[in-house]
Structure 1
Amino acid sequence: MRIAFTTETGEVHNLEIDSQMELENIKALIEAEIGTAPANQILFYHGQELTDPKKTLEQYGVVQDEILLLKIRPSNNQSSSSVGTPGEYEFMRQTLLSRPDMLQQLRQNQSELANAVNDPQRFTEIIQEMAQRRHEGELQRMQQINMLNEDPYDVEKQRSIEEAIRMQNVLANFSDALEHNPESFGRVTMLYIDVEVNGHPVKAFVDSGAQATIMSPQCAESCGIMRLVDNRFAGIAKGVGTAKIIGRVHSAQIRVGTDLFLICSFTIMEGRGTDLLFGLDMLKRHQACIDLQKNALIINGKEIRFLAEHELPESARMEMDESEEHIPHNLASSSASNTESPSISSSTIVNPPSSNSSPPVSQQQSQYPDEHIQNLISMGGITRDEAIKLLDAAGGNVEIAASLLFG
């Protein structure tokens, strides 16, 4: 079952344990978690101190998702008590060796320590390192508290302490996510399917956020359908920036998957991003279903599997690799930038601007490759600042940024 314990400083730690686990073994797990020796731990449940080391949590009446209060017993030598003794470490190691359930729990929370359980010297070194890091962190917190007590009316000091507390909560949240939801830190493969247009194979990007199905002029040339472009539908797509619409192919047959043939219309738009963007108009027209459990696009009962990462267009794979290093930096900015996502609809197609007009140029510095920024500027007629904002929203992935530009 899952329980939590909170310290007097407000720190909360989660544990996955067996309800039949005895109190002394719970304290051994807590020692591995925070570095405080069992002799210095005082646990309370609903105001009652838990004193019998042989009693199980079930006997104490502790159930799923309950919270225990941990108080640290005062010690004349805080440094030595937090570090512990070799005898305590060996007792803890032997306890883990005799209790596979405890060892399994430790492996989930402290894998390095669990892997060293058969090496007494390494086991001791890891615990000492953990205890030392926690002790140094506690000293820093105490220094912050002392700074506050020196002048509680200093606005700048208050702000610094507030930020330190906020970052402590952020790091605790980050650690909790790593422990319980590690898949959220993995990169996501975009949804591509194999499509054939007029006998020409194309990898189409499935984007339910794009109102129209868009094809690049280069792809239209390769598929041999540029001769069908209706120039009366030429214009400008306006969103965060602008992009030139060459026209529209009203009807062309495409093959999706192996044996599903559909009639599709394409908006031919300039740009060097995605060759073919399979938009919401086609998804709704054919009542398609994006089934992530089956990892397939389902149309008329037929399953068209989404491509694996190694099957994506080379440009998409390269951009995924490059964007990995940008993701942590851009997590905060993505939510703000998403409010500016452009859209394409009949109302956004206007007459082309005068050839004398040109977008303003920004000198803002960016961590993204200049080639990616220039690609977005050329395909959308947007400013450098706007291109950088799109890349921020897309985590540095130019393919996603292009879909935001036209989606």
Structure 2
Amino acid sequence: MKITVMTADEQFITLDVDRDESVENVKALLEVETRVSLQQQQLLFNGKEIRNTERLSSLGVGEGDLLMMSTVSPATRAPTNDLSFNPDGSAVNPEAFQQHLRRNGDMIAQLLQNDPPLAQAILGDNIENLQNLLRERHQQKMELQRRQEEELALMYADPFDVESQRKIEAAIRQKGIDENWAAALEHNPEAFARVVMLYVDMEVNGVPLKAFVDSGAQSTIISKSCAERCGLLRLLDQRYKGIAHGVGQTEILGRIHVAPIKIGNVFYPCSFMVLDSPNMEFLFGLDMLRKHQCIIDLKDNVLRVGGGEVSVPFLQEKDIPSHFLDEERYSRGAGSTPGSSGTKEKKENLPAAAGSSGTTHGGPAQGPDFEAKVAKLIELGFGREQVIQALNFFNGNEEQAAGFLFGG
């Protein structure tokens, strides 16, 4: 049944309680709502004070009845039993507050059903977690109260005041954002979860590796340390040195023109760009995905190679080493060189630069003259006239021109 309690400051609180609920439990509910400790509450029904041990049914309290709550000063209360709250919402004596609620089986059962996080904090062994949750709830309550006061003030604001209209516009916009967020939580909750990148098990020159599959990277990349571990560093062609620009810089040490990789039970030839990037091990890029007619099948969660002759499952998050989760960031940091991102989303993460002063598609590093810059940007897939306009616009700055071209 529902009852209404009027507090000393004339606030009305509606509680959903059982007919046989004890007065003490009602006070405990009011403690959460009003932050007035149970010992400081005095409840009156029909002008008479009701005791904690009494039950609502025996007092004749029924559906829709009104109770009055006043606040008293418990002079005899011992400090160790203080169940009041600090201004930030935390309990003055969290141990006493926790034990008090634990002893109330009905209250715990109700919290487990209606507020599991608070129930778990009360039943747990970490007092600080309980304090933090109480502070968080208090902050949310204060924020809600502040927003309600602002909305109420805007309702009576001068319609010809520019500042008031600006605040009304901001409030309407925020309301739309909140509604959109709530709709996303209901219809698209997975959008708020972390997306696990695509990894598969491969062997490079007989050495097992976990390969990061990235269709947004122009070329397949292997780190110097990984190439050395696979016994491929002796094949490094240093004529293909360069500098990859992006979020920071990464040195291109050269190129390994061909080496065997094993996907499933089949061997395939593969070429690599070797980067001086200790945090990035092996990235299987678009060049090899195209060459071997790979299909990224997200429905069956497999990588199909050779048009489907081989299928290998993408690894689950538990099977991916934690330090590998940084590989996406390092692949983006390689800019538009072999490890660069080709998708719009990733390009937006490279605002500083997107070009390369080194090799892009395997050609040796060129000189700094204008035509060389034009040639390198053309190799990235842009038209000559488009490249020349961008270079002229940025006074010959190759990196800024490349960033403009990718951003466009």
> Which bracket does the TM-score occupy, shorter chain normalised?
0.3 to 0.5
TM-score (norm 1): 0.48
TM-score (norm 2): 0.48
Larger Rg: 2
